[in-house]
Structure 1
């Protein structure tokens, strides 16, 4: 059985090695995206004196009148990310939290980290690439389990040995097995959670159907006979009263006049780093149209919070993020060392055939 196991492990790894290498490198960098963006100057520094919400919306609308956009908030004082949507144009704007000034404005997909995210999630191949990345996640889980089973020693005193004086191929083989064994649980988790996220729509729909969940009807704002939208800060305050103790994460501002203002919150104890609790507000009257704390969200949303937190490392803070980055580096090494072993074995076989005496 071990022979068939190692053969399947070898050729599955070779087949998916390049894709896994790309996913591993991009994922290791994305784990620390906020810190790296700040170091590179792509996002402005934090400020302890945040500006009013309406001033942020006014800054976006002054540059892009009539646009729909969202404002994403981190911890208090962090820079604000505006994601803007217009026909044929999507942009990412960083706003200074102290002045509301637009610090950077770029088309979505143009930054280095947008490129890395597209590489990690879709291998730069669109929807087909997303399915391929999900399949690679499942393959990674299989490789992690099969490699661990193959490594599992009969004598534990030899479990962590490295044959340093037996040549480069055997040393690389030992390093490959040992690093794979040490990183196996993290790689298994990364593979399964990554596959879940790639195929989340059909999986989530199936989970919601299983629990008998039916999506409620869309809410609509009532256009007044006269007057316009209420100030954004007043609307946020009205919604905050329905989410006591929660932190505002996102404001979605729709250009269509009958669309409500959608506010996303993170309640104490929520697992998702961006929260999954929502309040919909009529932007004209200030009436609360729908309040959906996370415990009343669709069943699949609650599962997704666990999955997303595990995959990005946010569930375990900086320690888990560091471990995931190391696991990504280990995966890159495994892809390279596995290919090296296969090439070295082929060279040895060819050398053996050449040296064999002619009959």
Structure 2
């Protein structure tokens, strides 16, 4: 049997078997590329504020007093400070997330935990198919679908090569040749981006082995983060979150702290920070500070992290498109939609397989 025939048959049956999962990854991936922007658009009254000319944000302590007064039966667990003047601050409570105008202290509203969050459902569909049981079976299926898509992309290039046609001549939806042209053209135009998405997604799917490989390739070693639990000094008082933020700025110069988890009596502060070039929503710099002495127990900035850690960070940023900001997200979203087009056109061609016009 000729290699072309083997690859064509493999390409076809992989698509028929895994097409639904691949299309699901494409649809959810296209949406997830703009996850923060969509969240802001869903609740604009919570996320957007107007900064008065020359105004400075209130301190976290001042914001905390206002939130504690408004929600006396709840407990503050975290603060999230916006790194953009037009976005609000958030205060984490045990049962909800409260949005606050950082200039006036006005409470804009809250989102309760445990409710139906469409974007979170889409996120979990993309990463775990909403099922983490049986040893994260959902995540393994997602990784398997990415591997199948990689095989289909490579076999598709081989099948396209003799034709080398990058054009669409639409002869009507009833004609198989029309769908063939769309399948070929969209596939080859989006090939590089889809290969990058597949490769980075597979690396994330095999996170443990790939992380160890990155450290081995770079000859670097991971920095172990200390245990957040620590003994409580007799009669000592914990420093406030504003002091913790100030210490974090010193620990990772040039980075802006934006999230702090309030520690229990026997815990340290855990702070996330972001450099200007770090376009990921969660930030890639972390600081741990003794909540009594203010001593920096751990500090890892995305600029100075071990080379292996920086490779992990870069891989994830490439997969999400964050590495290029909004243009990168747009490319990821369009490439994800191209996957859906490939699945649909491939299925239509198979349904019209009795036509011999190709």
* TM-score of Structure 1 vs Structure 2, range by shorter chain: 0.7 to 0.9
Task: Assess if the C-alpha contact under 8 Å between 1:273 and 1:309 holds in 2.
Answer: no
Instruction: Determine the structure 2 residue equivalent to 1:259.
Output: 267
TM-score with structure 2 setting the length: 0.83
> Superposition pairs for residues 323-342 of structure 1, below 5 Å?
323-342=331-350
Say if 2:48 is the partner of 1:45: yes
Query: How far does residue 185 in structure 1 lie from its aligned partner after superposition?
Result: 1.2
1:2 corresponds to which of 1, 4, 7? 4
Distance 2:92 2:212 in 1: 27
Distance 1:70 1:13 in 2: 46
Query: How far does residue 285 in structure 1 lie from its aligned partner after superposition?
Result: 2.2
Instruction: Determine the structure 2 residue equivalent to 1:356.
Output: none
Q: 1:100 to 1:24 in 2, by over 3 A?
A: farther
Instruction: Determine the structure 2 residue equivalent to 1:201.
Output: 208
Instruction: Determine the structure 2 residue equivalent to 1:316.
Output: 324
Query: How far does residue 108 in structure 1 lie from its aligned partner after superposition?
Result: 4.7
Query: How far does residue 166 in structure 1 lie from its aligned partner after superposition?
Result: 9.8
Query: How far does residue 205 in structure 1 lie from its aligned partner after superposition?
Result: 3.7
Instruction: Determine the structure 1 residue equivalent to 2:288.
Output: 280
Distance 2:355 2:74 in 1: 64
Distance 2:73 2:305 in 1: 35
Distance 1:239 1:288 in 2: 8
Quick check: 13-22 or 71-80, which moved more? 71-80
Task: Assess if the C-alpha contact under 8 Å between 1:79 and 1:94 holds in 2.
Answer: no
* Residue segments in structure 2 that go unaligned for 5+ positions in a row: none
Quick check: 32-41 or 324-333, which moved more? 32-41
> Superposition pairs for residues 190-269 of structure 1, below 5 Å?
190-208=197-215, 211=219, 213=221, 215-216=223-224, 218-219=226-227, 220-255=229-264, 257-269=265-277
Instruction: Determine the structure 2 residue equivalent to 1:17.
Output: 19
* Residue segments in structure 1 that go unaligned for 5+ positions in a row: 350-359
> Superposition pairs for residues 1-359 of structure 1, below 5 Å?
1-41=3-43, 43-48=46-51, 50-57=57-64, 59=67, 62=72, 64-65=74-75, 68-69=77-78, 71=80, 73-81=82-90, 93-98=97-102, 99=105, 101=107, 103-108=109-114, 110-126=116-132, 127-153=136-162, 158-162=165-169, 164=171, 167-208=174-215, 211=219, 213=221, 215-216=223-224, 218-219=226-227, 220-255=229-264, 257-270=265-278, 272=280, 274-345=282-353
Query: How far does residue 261 in structure 1 lie from its aligned partner after superposition?
Result: 0.5
Q: 1:342 to 1:78 in 2, by over 3 A?
A: same
Query: How far does residue 69 in structure 1 lie from its aligned partner after superposition?
Result: 4.2
Task: Assess if the C-alpha contact under 8 Å between 1:252 and 1:263 holds in 2.
Answer: yes
Task: Assess if the C-alpha contact under 8 Å between 2:220 and 2:308 holds in 1.
Answer: no
String of CA shifts for 1:97-154, please: whole Å, max 9, x gaps. Answer: 4226362222257211011101111111222111111111222222222212221245
Distance 1:63 1:342 in 2: 61
Task: Assess if the C-alpha contact under 8 Å between 2:222 and 2:309 holds in 1.
Answer: no
Task: Assess if the C-alpha contact under 8 Å between 2:97 and 2:110 holds in 1.
Answer: yes
Quick check: 282-291 or 97-106, which moved more? 97-106
Distance 1:229 1:319 in 2: 43
Q: 1:322 to 1:62 in 2, by over 3 A?
A: same
Query: How far does residue 30 in structure 1 lie from its aligned partner after superposition?
Result: 1.5
Helix, strand or coil at the partner of 2:176: helix
Task: Assess if the C-alpha contact under 8 Å between 2:83 and 2:256 holds in 1.
Answer: no
Quick check: 29-38 or 115-124, which moved more? 29-38
Task: Assess if the C-alpha contact under 8 Å between 2:124 and 2:130 holds in 1.
Answer: yes
Helix, strand or coil at the partner of 1:237: helix
Q: 1:81 to 1:113 in 2, by over 3 A?
A: farther
Q: CA RMSD in A?
A: 3.0
Q: 1:264 to 1:20 in 2, by over 3 A?
A: same
Distance 2:73 2:193 in 1: 45
Helix, strand or coil at the partner of 2:248: helix
Distance 1:100 1:142 in 2: 54
